[in-house]
Chain A
Amino acid sequence: MAQHALDIIQSSATTFSSPSARRTLEVAKLIDVSRCIGCKACQAACLEWNDLRGPVGGFDGAYTNPPDLDDQNWCLMRFHEEEIDGAIEWLILKDGCMHCADPGCLRACPAPGAVVRLSNGIVDFNQEKCIGCGYCISGCPFNIPRLRREDSRVYKCTLCSDRVAVGLAPACVKSCPTQALMFGSRGEMHAVAHERVEELRGRGYQSAALYDPPGVSGTHVFYVLPHGDRPEAYGLPREPAVSPVVEAWRSPVARGIGVFTMFAVLAAGILHYMRHGPLEVPGEKEENEP
């Protein structure tokens, strides 16, 4: 984390300003599902670069393996079999952190600096400061962070913040054999995505679309979906946004009013005592309490 100190532009549970002397280029990862062949090279590269080794699991009849994201698996290929226009199609999702511009995890986190947003767009967890409350899990509209029972810390995709910080592409992107994964500046990736959408529409995928949900102010991982009218079929929420319940719960205004009221109760007590004095039995001298 130390190498990121200059690039942190938003920090969880921190109200004071962040370092702003330098701004790095905003980056993004583009996942073009139409080019994905489901080889899982990205999943393997993620384990290798991040030195993660989960326990060997069992086979449960699905291509998705392991069955879910966890503290050892920050990138997971999910395979959805869908019947579309009378034919079976494999809808593949490379599941992992979306690196939201308005991250619900960061808003929900009560531990100062445990979740940070970097000026390049990456949302990173600082496990050293994580207290294991799991609020980020509640805050995330994509259900990504996973709490490790053994150490009560939360883990997720870092977008290889360590690689990106020194000008390298994330490990998953580097390993992709079909260029279904691309990495570059956010603007450039947007342009490429729009080109790809147009091309897919020309090839008959009328509803091909870019998935860059505005509900979280955009993301730094976006998808080109051949069936962009049905993000749910890929396992993506249609209109992800930080839940209004989380907004109400972590709203600085609501919490500010709460804290203010607590001080007001204290002040009311002091003022009442100064104005009216104690309630004593008339004519009886009270001994010192208690």
Chain B
Amino acid sequence: MTQERVDTILRHPVGERVTHWAVAIVFIFLFTSGLALFHPFFFWIASLYGSGQVMRFLHPIAGVLLVLLFYPYAARVWRDNRWTAADSGWVRQMWAFMRKEFHPSDTGKYNAGQKLMFWSMVPLIALLLLSGVVIWQPWFAPVFPPALRRWAALVHAVCSFAMFVGIGVHWYAAYWTRGSIRAMVRGYVSPSWAKFHHPAWYRGIAGREE
């Protein structure tokens, strides 16, 4: 007989959850519309958003929206993403972790993979914003010299590619680690889930409650 599972531990407060999914929706728009501009194989995506013109007009606006949503979110969670010695150990054992041959007992609220994801998004989104403004027609691009616009377009493409790979891994990791999508939707996790996936975080909470 399996035990009744009770989700009693708050992992993501409601504000965090809503922001997270808002970021996700904006990202999906940005990624698909960017992909249409990146390779003609995907230009059909433009018709999903009305037309190429509409898509091109909305893309940079959505980009600013992503920045406005992401950085306040990042400011709320960065403390739990500070790098520790245990994280370096996790990275060394990453492949074993993925084969389920290694399971650390000192993982905090976020594991090293999640922290790598966080710290790669912080500069990538900033670079995407800066390079995006430089090529934003018709309002900002004319201000910048053509040589800078060429570099900005290249930087924008490379960063968005890196961002997609990062988010792709993030999506899969969330699906693979059972219970984490639920945690990001409903906010609460069970003590056994917290103890197994984030033991150091669980000990901190249990210590506070006692």
The residue that A276 contacts in the complex, of B2, B98, B184, with Cβ under 8 A, is: B98
A245-B176 in contact (CB<8A) = no
A56 at the interface (CB under 8 A from B): no
> 6 interchain pairs (CB within 8 A)?
A131-B56, A132-B138, A147-B137, A256-B39, A265-B164, A272-B176
Complex Cα spacing A245 to B196, Å: 48
Complex Cα spacing A89 to B202, Å: 82
Contacts across chains A and B counted by CB atoms under 8 Å: 145
A280 at the interface (CB under 8 A from B): yes
B137-A152 in contact (CB<8A) = yes
Write out, one digit per residue, whether chain B residues 174-210 have a CB within 8 A of any chain A CB (1) or not (0).
0111110110111000101100110000000000000
Tell me the nearest residue of chain A to B139, going by C-beta.
A149
Complex Cα spacing A261 to B141, Å: 30
Complex Cα spacing A265 to B181, Å: 20
The residue that B53 contacts in the complex, of A131, A137, A245, A276, with Cβ under 8 A, is: A131
Contacts of A256 in B (CB 8 A): 39
B11 at the interface (CB under 8 A from A): no
Q: A138-B146, A273-B175, A284-B193 are in contact. List 10 more A-B contacts (CB 8 A).
A: A15-B40, A110-B37, A110-B40, A112-B40, A269-B172, A279-B176, A281-B196, A281-B197, A284-B3, A284-B5
A255-B39 in contact (CB<8A) = yes
State whether A259 and B41 are in contact (beta carbons under 8 Å apart), knowing that A129-B52, A278-B177 are contacts in the complex.
yes
Contacts of B40 in A (CB 8 A): 13-15, 110, 112
Tell me the nearest residue of chain A to B37, going by C-beta.
A110
A2 at the interface (CB under 8 A from B): no
Complex Cα spacing A155 to B151, Å: 23
B61 at the interface (CB under 8 A from A): no
B169-A265 in contact (CB<8A) = yes
A54 at the interface (CB under 8 A from B): no
A133-B154 in contact (CB<8A) = no
B118 at the interface (CB under 8 A from A): no
Interface size bracket, B side: 35 or more
The residue that A281 contacts in the complex, of B36, B175, B193, with Cβ under 8 A, is: B193
The residue that A284 contacts in the complex, of B38, B146, B168, B192, with Cβ under 8 A, is: B192
In the complex, what's the smallest C-beta–C-beta distance from A179 to chain B, in angstroms? 34
State whether A265 and B43 are in contact (beta carbons under 8 Å apart), knowing that A138-B150, A290-B185 are contacts in the complex.
no
A289-B39 in contact (CB<8A) = no
Q: Which of B42, B137, B151, B157 has the most CB of A within 10 A?
A: B137
Complex Cα spacing A262 to B172, Å: 13
A249 at the interface (CB under 8 A from B): yes
B100 at the interface (CB under 8 A from A): yes
B153 at the interface (CB under 8 A from A): yes
In the complex, what's the smallest C-beta–C-beta distance from B45 to chain A, in angstroms? 12
B182-A246 in contact (CB<8A) = no
A240 at the interface (CB under 8 A from B): no
Complex Cα spacing A111 to B43, Å: 8
B39-A248 in contact (CB<8A) = no
Contacts of B128 in A (CB 8 A): none
Contacts of A110 in B (CB 8 A): 36-38, 40, 43
Write out, one digit per residue, whether chain B residues 117-159 have a CB within 8 A of any chain A CB (1) or not (0).
0000000000000000001011001100011011101100100
